[in-house]
Amino acid sequence: MALEARRAAALLMWEVLQGFGRRLRRGMGLPSGAHDPVALHLPVLLVLSRRGPQRLVDLARLLNLPTSTLSEGVERMVAEGLVERTPNPRDRRSVLLGPTAAGRARLPELCRGAQNRAEQLLEAMGDEAVQHLLLGLRALADVLAADGLDPDPPCPGGTPEDAEH
């Protein structure tokens, strides 16, 4: 594929994914702003559930967000009882953030909401287009995995293979 086609595909992929994310959040009843604290619930709970307790700065790095933006969302999640702070045993000056029992219980609901909304958006595509999209996404996932992307499923119990059966 020519360099020009790759650049066009990369730009289109970025634009489509941004729009898809906004529509996904809107369909789940979440604010569509990327930096809205409520929109952070799913990614924060996923990371904390998969990777264990994290310092705020490490969580911000993993989510590719400014610490100040994430801090507001975490404060809200602490107030809602979804995330808790615990002393960091390695550094008394910092705390670790982890999901509470309520946060772990809420995660499957958030995942189901995201999955359902994504399926609704894909219904507008024909079956053949969805199959082509699936092939392309698998190829992209393979490239990202080779580049060190965490291969864990995005939601507890959810894998792309589950969707086929």
Residue 67 covered by a domain: yes
Give me Rg for the CA atoms of the chain. 18
Round to whole Å and give the CA distance between 17 and 20.
5
The whole-number pLDDT of residue 123 equals 85
Q: Which amino acid, one-letter code, is at 54?
A: Q
Residue 125 covered by a domain: yes
The whole-number pLDDT of residue 36 equals 55
**Burial of 20 per CB tally in 10 Å (0-12, 13-18, 19+):** middle
The whole-number pLDDT of residue 163 equals 43
Residue 54 covered by a domain: yes
Residue 114 covered by a domain: yes
Round to whole Å and give the CA distance between 152 and 31.
27
Q: How many domains does the chain have?
A: 1
The whole-number pLDDT of residue 162 equals 43
The whole-number pLDDT of residue 60 equals 92
Residue 85 covered by a domain: yes
Residue 49 covered by a domain: yes
The whole-number pLDDT of residue 156 equals 66
CATH of the domain at 90: 1.10.10.10
Find the domain containing 38 and state its range.
20-146
Q: What is the pLDDT along the chain (165 residues), one digit of tens a residue?
A: 577 777 777 777 767 776 777 776 666 666 555 455 567 888 899 999 999 999 999 999 988 889 998 998 999 999 999 999 999 999 989 999 999 999 999 999 888 888 888 888 888 888 898 898 888 888 888 887 887 766 555 676 554 444 443
Residue 7 covered by a domain: no
The whole-number pLDDT of residue 142 equals 84
Residue 2 covered by a domain: no
